[in-house]
């Protein structure tokens, strides 16, 4: 399932600004938290993904929340 345009816009802005982000993904049976910098957003085989600065690739279909990490957090 594609994510909303609003969330995608937030991810694009974070990638352009190199803003560290905290993303929560639904990874049944749990949730997984990613904290870091997004370097790329891309589509492959009809699915959307993000690539992090640390090299990890995350499918956006499981994204349930997004928030910037402020310095000192």
pLDDT greater at residue 13 or residue 73? 13
Residue 70: is its pLDDT beyond 90?
A: no
User: Domain-by-domain residue ranges, the chain?
Assistant: 5-68
pLDDT of residue 13: 95
Q: What is the pTM of this model?
A: 0.85
- pLDDT bin (cut points 50, 70, 90) of residue 73 is low
Q: What angle do CA 45, 8, 68 make, to 5 degrees?
A: 130
Q: What is the pLDDT of residue 27?
A: 84
Q: Which residue has the tokens 């802005």?
A: 13
- The predicted-structure confidence for 10-44, as pLDDT tens digits, reads as follows 999 999 999 999 999 998 899 999 999 999 999 99
Please, what CATH class does the domain formed by 5-68 belong to?
mainly beta
Inter-residue contact 59 to 51 (CB < 8 Å): no
CA distance 22 to 65: 8
């Amino acid at each position: 399932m594609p994510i909303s345009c609003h969330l995608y816009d937030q991810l694009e802005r974070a990638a352009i600004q190199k803003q560290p982000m905290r993303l929560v993904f639904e990874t049944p049976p749990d949730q997984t938290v990613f904290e870091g910098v997004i370097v790329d957003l891309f589509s492959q085989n009809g699915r959307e993904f993000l690539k992090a600065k640390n090299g990890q690739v995350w499918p956006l279909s499981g994204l349930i929340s997004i928030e910037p990490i402020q310095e000192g957090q």
